Structure 1
């Protein structure tokens, strides 16, 4: 059905022709079945029907219901009925006479806002019909005369009213067949068809929704369990080297004042890694290799190497064949500050403010403090590069060792130990090894054969893996080329108890496996079960737990591989318990597929 609500009076209120047929009645004509229903609030309008209901059939079998309210006062007073009618309307028609300016003004100022409020943003089409031919009489200009009520409503005023409501504006000069049936009727029937199409569409959607609610729904695939999170370990690179200085292990250089009253021990490889001056001092470079003459002059004026002189006993941990180099510090003030300077260097050389404060407290002389600090800046110069300590307050050398110690990785320069592995030799420096690896510290400082040997054999690991391991000790970083190489490096790290390197390898393996697409994971020759067993054997609990979850999450892929049978009973039970998709989902999916392909779901015609 289509419900139409019409408001307003198309007759001129001052016209004597009250027998003029209404717009709605004229449209319906003889095909309408009319029944009059007076509102309960029409007592003050006796003899004038308030709401008139028309019923008819249009388009053959479509029921048309029209409620016509020609009196606007009742629209306002019987607000509940008016809102109910507007709420159930498919089309709204507002009528007025072009020759009744007063009624139009009341409609515009008082009733149109009420209609907009009742619509409440509903998308109901509205037709505004301006009815009648404008009379040419000129209204009286007397302010006390009421004859100006017969002023005409202009077309622009009607169009403006239609814009306020978003309505369609029509002018019907007379209620003849053309204006009623073709003009007004054509627009009205267009909106009727639109309303019927919308209702049909909503009915189909509702029907489909009901059918869908009664139909068996496909099972919902739950999300896989969250994988265990592996947390990385913070670097303790600078702390390791600082502890090396504090422990005086494997020291191979001793600084003395000119009176030989005190001694400060250090390590040549650490000092040479931060300063070309120390490279010159310990014979790593010649004066011709250093273009900055100020560094050469500083080395000669500040230090004197006495390698051939008598020296105190070798520092604890050094082989008997390796004697420490004795260096005399010619500047007594600088020598008194040397322990603080070495702590600054071994701690990463970026705590310049702390060094400055320590020297100020020790010397208690601003001029001497500035002289010592200037010498420190000269010592830490980098030839051919930007001077990193030109303004040490604003520039921090936070990457001192991991960039400079790389210069001495896998080189015989200053090396005091040689590893023999797979028929090849790899030179290294005891100071770095002892500082970075507790196992090697015990090996070189304890009652072991390696403590007094320069040549140390290595078993159970390949040369490439051991080189990667040493590279991490020197630079605090590693970059495995593959998952298998990372696993080999993890085994080596576990062998020497370097836990942070072990965590780095674990994270690398996990990252690489997570980035593999399913197709590559199914076709790869890499055995995840083999990785799992190695991780368990070498006490990598975090990685082994993660790999079990990884196998369970990719159950459909790994269950088809032969290696799946190599899992232990305990591992198999864990995977089955945490598998994705679960047994329950697969059973529900099979039941749903059987339902879809059952005869009940087939078309009865087919």
Structure 2
């Protein structure tokens, strides 16, 4: 009987403990923060923009003719010079002494002839007043017959050698003529002191337009900004920026002007903008600089540059540890306002998500009060941790505290 009573008592104790365990308040579960919006990537249109420039012939400043002057092929000196030392020599960008490669000098002299009188006297700011294209005679008719394909190859970034071979074969049929044209192209693209190497040519072309950035050589327009002047080249501006294409080819005052005033942006920001147009690359040093460049990109409707600036801001903010985020003087709410004002909706939405995800940090900052009612509702809706979680956490902590007090009394 005693054994039976002890067993029942033990079972009751176990059951009581089990009930107590079931009734014990569990710590609340912290959900993951809402997933932030992602930016859609923008593919580079660099080579495509230059190809379109060739097709449109906008701002063409060189005209190639066969010896009988029966037809014409237009192009742009800056693109040709960026890819070939032969054209640099032809258009006076470099002298034979600069190049120091007899084969390049020979190619320029045997293949091309710049018409007498083509050189134009400099006008204001050192830029020739005349805008008529330089006339160049191509002495080799076989090469001239393939010149449109050769130009497409150069404007595409000299990446499509196989395509040039195919187009040449379709046009000429004769193997000897095909070989002659291809060898001539190799001579035109030759790097001084080196044999033709397609990989070297590609690497050279990738950075070739950079040498003309801020360079007065071949410049045909001057930007005036903050009491300073910056030379530039209309073909690049027109190819890479639709707003400038309209500005220089429409019925605007700028179409006939050499000196173009720039307002609303700093010189540093505008130079970064121009550098992107020339090189397709952009490396902001800080979030304020990226935002200034974003404003400039929005002003001139260069969408991919806007995306690059947005991505920089997001990447930089994501890299900040919580301690630095709490102490930084960077006004994230002001970034929201600026992004919205300049139609960067993806960035403004991401920034609001960022504020919501770091709610406990930003809600303590004075700038939090600058959020509009709509923005505040968005942040409160997506805040992390949520209000529900914080209430549950408070209840749990109070419960734990009460249990400790109960144990102390016992």
| TM-score for the superposition, normalised by structure 2 | 0.91
Return 5+ residue gaps in structure 1 as ranges: 1-204, 312-317, 390-394
Label 1:590 to 1:267 Cα distance change in 2 as closer, same or farther (>3 A).
Answer: same
- 1:605 is displaced (CA, Å) by 4.9
Match of 1:576 in 2: 380
1:372 corresponds in structure 2 to 181
From 83, 92, 105, the equivalent of 1:274 is: 83
Check conservation: 1:348, 1:400, Cα contact below 8 A.
Answer: no
Q: Which has the higher helix share?
A: 2
Residues 379 and 594 from structure 1, CA distance in 2 versus in 1: closer, same or farther, beyond 3 angstroms?
same
- Distance between the aligned counterparts of 1:322 and 1:605, measured in 2? 97
Deviation at 1:519, TM superposition (A): 0.5
**C-alpha RMSD over aligned residues:** 2.3
Aligned to 1:301: 110
Match of 1:217 among 16, 23, 26: 26
Give 1:520's match in structure 2, choosing from 312, 316, 324: 324
- Please state if 1:473 is matched with 2:277: yes
Q: 1:233 & 1:350 partners in 2: Cα distance?
A: 21
For 2:64, the equivalent position in structure 1 comes to 255
Tell me which residue corresponds to 2:3. none
The correspondence for 1:337, drawn from 143, 146, 152, is 146
For residues 75-123 of structure 1, the C-alpha deviation after alignment (integer angstroms, 9 at most, x for no partner) is xxxxxxxxxxxxxxxxxxxxxxxxxxxxxxxxxxxxxxxxxxxxxxxxx
User: Does the CA-based 8 Å contact 1:255-1:263 persist in structure 2?
Assistant: yes
Does 2:127 correspond to 1:323? no
User: Any unmatched runs of 5+ in structure 2?
Assistant: 1-13, 121-126
How big is the shift at 1:350?
Answer: 1.4
Distance in 1 between the 2:93 and 2:129 partners? Answer: 22
Cα distance in 1, alignment partners of residues 335 and 142 from structure 2 = 59
The match for 1:555 is 359
Q: Give the structure with the higher percent strand.
A: 1
The structure 2 residue matched to 1:406, chosen from 206, 210, 217, is: 210
Alpha-carbon offset, residue 319 of structure 1: 9.4
Counterpart residue number, 1:539: 343
Map of 1:317-466 to 2, 5 A cutoff?
321-384=130-193, 387-389=196-198, 395=199, 398-399=202-203, 401-466=205-270
Contact between 1:349 and 1:396, CA under 8 Å: does it hold in 2? no
More moved, 214-223 vs 485-494? 214-223
Question: Quick check: 1:603 aligned with 2:407?
Answer: yes
Cα drift, residue 383 of structure 1: 2.0
Aligned pair count reads: 392
1:111-190 matches, within 5 Å, as none
List structure 1 runs of 4+ shifted beyond 4 angstroms: 205-212, 395-401
Instruction: Tell me, yes or no, if the aligned pair for 1:253 and 1:268 is still in contact at 8 Å.
Output: yes
User: Displacement, 1:598?
Assistant: 1.7
Contact kept? 1:471, 1:478, Cα under 8 Å: yes
Question: Which structure is richer in relative contact order (CA contacts within 8 A, separation 6 or more)?
Answer: 2
1:406-461 deviations in Å (ceiling 9; x for gaps): 01001101100000000110110000000000000000000011100111000000
Answer whether contact 2:146 2:168 (CA < 8 A) is retained.
Answer: yes
Q: CA deviation at 1:399?
A: 5.0
Instruction: Indicate if the aligned counterparts of 2:118 and 2:134 stay in contact, CA closer than 8 A.
Output: no
Contact 2:157–2:206 (8 Å) recurs in 1: no
1:505 pairs with one of 302, 309, 332: 309
Bigger Rg over Cα:
1
> Could you say what secondary structure the match of 1:603 adopts?
helix
**Greater displacement, 290-299 / 460-469:** 290-299
Taking the aligned partners of 2:17 and 2:269, their CA distance within structure 1 comes to 65
Cα deviation code 1:161-212 (max 9, x no counterpart): xxxxxxxxxxxxxxxxxxxxxxxxxxxxxxxxxxxxxxxxxxxx99988764
